[in-house]
Structure 1
Amino acid sequence: MLNIADTLHRWCREARPFALATVIQVSGSAPLPPGTALAVDTGGEAVGSISGGCVEGAVYELCRQVLESGEPPVRARFGYSDDDAFAVGLTCGGELEVLVQRVDPADQPHLVGALEQVPAGLPVAVAQVVDGPEHQLGRTLSVLGGGSAYDGTLGSRQQDRAVATQVRALLRAGRTARVEVGGDAGSCPEKLTLLVHTHAAPPRLLIFGAVDFAAALSRAGSFLGYHVTVCDARPVFATPERFPHADEVVVDWPHRYLEATRVDARTAICVLTHDAKFDIPLLRLALGLPVGYLGAMGSRRTHEHRLARLREAGVPDEHLARLRSPIGLDLGARTPEETAISITAEIIAHTHNGTGLPLSRVPGPIHGSVPVAQVSSPDALLAA
């Protein structure tokens, strides 16, 4: 639902009831991931998409039906039709399950506070019951960025505490996931399956080296939704005017800046400096950090010399194996812009475990299996 948070927030402020259709599970080549939503208000206005067009009409009518009748939430499954590929179903061959529920803002006032976080760029997570006792289906609980408190209820204080613990872990990791709680006397007697919708702070792209390639890469990174930082120790090159698409331009020694800044498992680091006095201290530090992607520009000869220096500096081989150099995918890139696409393509492939091969040469569903985790504890999540 957070993909349409701005419109839903407006409807909630106007106390306008609406029907919310949420993708709660997918298989095969379903085009959109769990958590994606479509909503319809009492005037028939629709916002969002759940299939890229394949089953929108059928889901719209189901939303109107639930909204007008006031019936309890319903689940519907849509899949490929063997008899008629253009009947109601996914012509791409996948299947998706949708939960459709009526939302009355007056009954869930905490949603207003949760939904307003997204347009403001603040982190928030909303847990939605997608399987369990009928009287709890569709209920929500939200955790805002600080994570210290939650709002809303799933039915009991015991359940709320158990769910809030897992939601906080997902919010820290920036992941959307299906979560199961309950079914035992220790947490709560009734078993619930929830879809936790997460809107986290943008992932970081740290670019070291204020060169022409960095200008193109900062633009591509911004387009992909990264919070982009360009860092270089040379003030004559590291200026906001040269990098208008960067969120911040820092004049500092790269390793010193990296040592002082925040990174996490979603952070991508690109080293473009080509200078050992910058590269070696920076990479020695970066290779020991829990970042998602680390790449360095340079020829294969440069890379071999760099590896030798890093080994001399005491970096173990298991850390060196994390370094992607020469940086980027083999696209035949020549210009800074083409190189930026090559680098960001590798970051995307690495993030989603893609092969980097042409889809025409990869068998099976083009979207693969959607990485929505089934987690049973915060420790399991953070270890994933």
Structure 2
Amino acid sequence: MLNIADTLYDWCRAGRPFALATVIQVSGSAPMPPGTALAVDAAGTVVGSISGGCVEGAVYDLCTQVLAEGAGPVRSRFGYSDDDAFAVGLTCGGEIDVLVQRVDPGRRPHLTAALEAVAQRRPVAVAQIVDGPEALLGRTLHVASRTYDGTLGGEDADRAVTAQARALLRAGRTARIEVGGEGSTCPERLSVLVHTHASRPRMLIFGAVDFAAALSRAGSFLGYRVTVCDARPVFATSTRFPYADEVIVDWPDRYLAGIEVDARTAVCVLTHDAKFDIPLLRLALDLPVGYIGAMGSRRTHEHRLGALRDAGVPEDRLARLRSPIGLDLGAHTTEETAISIAAEIIAHTNHGTGLPLSHGTGPIHQPTLIDDEPGQLVGVREGIARRHRTDRPDND
């Protein structure tokens, strides 16, 4: 629901009831992930999308019905129909489960507060019961970093969900969790969809070069908070990097040592200068960041690995380094190179192979996985991705 938080917040402030349709489960290839929502108010105004157009009409009708009749939450499944190409369904071949519920803002002040936090770009999670006892279906809980508000039906359930919601919020992930059914502490088994609105992930670009200018633009487009850092003040200027959120003049390793990073942070080393690269990478490889890439040819990379080994970096840490940086897109220009780097970050973050979709089989959209260790791919895709990594144009 947080994909349409700004409009929902306006409706809540105005006291306008609305019907909320939320994707609560996806199987096969479906266009929108769990947590995506569509809403309809009493005037018939619709906001959001849950299928890219495939089932919007049917969901709209269901929303207007629930809103008009004041019925309880309704769950419905939509899938592809082989028998009737014009039937309501997902022509992409997947299935989605949708929960439609009426929301009266006056009865859910905690939801209004959560939507306000999103509107103000503050981190917040909303936990929503999507399966369990009928009387609890659709209940929500507003979870912030230090507090929570609302209830899912019991203090034990609230505490259990809050703990997991905060972990997901730190990771910046929306996910479905299971709680309860374990005796007297939380006897009801609940399936809860945790919607998260986290602070923007960070993209740290080291080296105030032309590639950095193009990459900062791509990073900004992808929703990163972009920082460009270089020790040379004549190059590290906001004029040269208008798409960066901040431009820092400092030694790269010193700057990195003084800031907070997390598993969503992408570190892109474009300095191509050993006096900057080695101390910076030695530090970065020991931090819980999600992605570390360094520019340079294969020969440069081998020299860099040797220097890092001499500096005492163990092999398991060196394996985290993506170099030469980027996917093999045949890039030549700075803009194309930025796209290749951004593509590798996306593939690494989402555990993709980086291969053409036409070369694969099975569902296009794979379930979201959580890293066993920051920066490490999980599952069979790891070997596939590594086999197909190839060099970009020589930057030596």
TM-score class, shorter-chain normalisation, is over 0.9
Question: Within 5 Å, which residues of 2 pair with 1:173-184?
Answer: 173-184=171-182
TM-score (norm 2): 0.92
Is this contact kept in 1: 2:351–2:369, CA < 8 A? no
- TM-score, normalized by length of structure 1? 0.95
1:309-364 per-position Cα deviation (integer Å, ceiling 9, x unaligned): 11111111111111111100111111110100000000001111111111111112
Higher relative contact order, structure no. (Cα contacts within 8 Å, ≥ 6 residues apart):
1
Shift of 1:152: 0.7
Aligned to 1:247: 245
Match of 2:320, SS?
coil
Given that 1:297 and 1:327 are in contact with CA atoms closer than 8 Å, whether structure 2 keeps it comes out as: yes
Distance (Å, rounded) in 1 between the aligned partners of 2:67 and 2:196: 25
Call closer, same or farther: CA 1:372–1:106 in 2, change over 3 Å: farther
Q: Which runs of 4+ in 1 moved over 6 A?
A: none
Give deviations 1:272-295, integer Å, cap 9, x for gaps: 001100000000111111111100
- Residues 255-283 of structure 1: CA deviation (Å, up to 9, x unaligned): 00111111110000000001100000000
**Aligned equivalents of 2:274 and 2:184: distance in 1?**
56
| Contact 1:24–1:195 under 8 Å retained in 2 | yes
268, 271, 274: which one aligns with 1:273? 271
The alpha-carbon deviation at position 372 of structure 1 amounts to 7.0
Which residue of structure 1 aligns with residue 384 of structure 2?
Answer: none
| Contact 1:162-1:187 at 8 Å conserved across structures | no
User: For residue 377 of structure 1, what is the aligned residue in structure 2?
Assistant: none
Please list, as runs of the form range in 1=range in 2, the aligned pairs for 1:228-377 lying within 5 A after superposition: 228-367=226-365, 369-371=366-368
2:36 aligned with 1:36? yes
Tell me the residue number matched to 1:381: none
Letter of the 2:44 counterpart: G
State the SS of the aligned residue for 2:292.
Answer: strand
Amino acid at match of 2:108: Q
Hey, what's the Cα distance between the residues in 1 that align with 2:171 and 2:208?
Answer: 30
Question: What's the counterpart of residue 57 of structure 1?
Answer: 57
Q: Which residue number corresponds to residue 161 of structure 1? A: 159
Return the offset for 1:187: 3.0
Partner of 2:373: none
Residue by residue over 1:57-103, the C-alpha shift from the partner in whole angstroms, topping out at 9 and shown as x without a partner, is 00000000100011110100000101112310100000000000000
- Distance in 2 separating the partners of 1:27 and 1:81: 15
Matched with 2:69 is 69
Residue of structure 2 in register with 1:18 after alignment: 18
Could you say which residue in structure 2 is the equivalent of 1:118? 118
Quick one: percent identity of the two aligned structures? 77
User: For residues 88-145 of structure 1, what are the alpha-carbon distances to aligned partners after superposition, in whole Å with 9 as ceiling and x for unaligned?
Assistant: 010000000000000000111111110011122111100000011111000000112x
- Code of the aligned partner of 1:370: P
- Gaps in structure 1 of 5+ consecutive residues: 374-383
Q: How many residues align?
A: 371
Q: Secondary structure at the match of 2:19?
A: strand
How far off its partner does 1:19 sit? 0.3
Three-state SS of the structure 2 residue aligned to 1:11 is helix
Structure 2 unaligned residues grouped into runs of 5+: 371-377, 379-396
Q: Deviations over 1:151-199 (max 9, x none)?
A: 1111222222222121111111211111111112353111111000000
Matched letter for residue 163 of structure 1 = V
RMSD between aligned residues? 1.1
Contact kept, 8 Å, 2:201 with 2:223, in 1: the verdict is yes
CA distance in 2, matches of 1:19, 1:364: 34
Partner Cα separation in structure 1 for residue 340 and residue 171 of structure 2: 26
CA distance in 1, matches of 2:85, 2:257: 55
